[in-house]
Amino acid sequence: MINTKLLFEELSQVREKSPLVHNITNYVVMNNTANALLSIGASPVMAHAINEVEDMVSIASALVINMGTLSDEWVEAMIIAGKKATEKGIPIVFDPVGVGATQYRTQTAQKIINECKPNVIRGNASEILALSNANISTKGVDSTVSSNVAFDSARELAKLTKAVVVISGETDYLTDGERDVNIKNGNPMMTKVTGMGCTATAIIGAFVGLGKDLFISTACAMAVMGISGEIAAQKSVGPGSLQMNFLDTLYKLSEAEIANTFRDE
């Protein structure tokens, strides 16, 4: 469904158009997320004040809502921004970090899905299962189940919410309820850098900000993420150098590197 040519074309458009991505995200990853968006050629903005999120999202090409370090005031801002985005036809990407770990997270995720109607939902397998009420316990913010177990739940969730659903993991599974794709890129060391999942979500924001087919753009974003992480990990001795090399790789990623590395099924 996606291939090197398409991938590089969408990446080139991100670099050229530099979509403004409005992030309402968690404190832990704001810096990484902004740097990843800049490295890939997009333009990040972080803003969460209730009295400005409507104005900010209105000038953005995409809205990223990430509930990593949530609190009532931030959730209120997420929902205000999300409603405005929907009204304006601006795509929303939602990252339900740690859903299932606490009741508050589960309720908040459901509230955001119901009230903002996100266009893309990305989580790890535990999170997607928790969203589908599969009664799987989540250990903090890291996944405890393998991705393929959660795939049926993902497809149901996609049908129910009309969103593209992404389960990231060793293999990334993507579905919009009809179409699906598996992306095989990545490296286990990526799980040792905080916020790699959140970064994937933000990069999806950059790609869907192009205003093209949401499923294809999401797949391109996840492929660029996995390819860059895989190339960067090969040059890295640990998570510290991986973080650095990952940003450098996003910045320089070439069509030849994509062709040599991309693996789907």
- By the criterion CB under 8 A, which residues form the site for a second copy? 20, 22, 26-32, 34-35, 38-39, 43-52, 55-56, 59-60, 68-73, 98, 101-105, 139-142, 191-195, 236-241, 243-252
Min separation Cβ 214 and a second copy, Å: 22
Neighbours of 38 (CB within 10 A): 15
Q: Which of 45, 149 has the CB closer to a second copy?
A: 45
Q: Phi and psi at residue 245, in whole multiples of 5°?
A: -65, -30
Q: Which of 174, 200 has the CB closer to a second copy?
A: 200
Min separation Cβ 18 and a second copy, Å: 8
d(CA 79, CA 84): 9
Neighbours of 103 (CB within 10 A): 8
User: How many helices, marked H, and strands, marked E, lie in the chain?
Assistant: 11, 8
Q: Which of 165, 247 has the CB closer to a second copy?
A: 247
Q: Which of 29, 163 has the CB closer to a second copy?
A: 29
Min separation Cβ 102 and a second copy, Å: 4
Nearest CA-CA partner of 120 in 231, 22, 218? 218
| DSSP string for 184-204 | ----GGGGGSTTHHHHHHHHH
Min separation Cβ 141 and a second copy, Å: 5
Q: Which of 1, 50 has the CB closer to a second copy?
A: 50
Min separation Cβ 1 and a second copy, Å: 29
| DSSP string for 202-244 | HHHHHHHTT-S-HHHHHHHHHHHHHHHHHHHHHT-SSHHHHHH
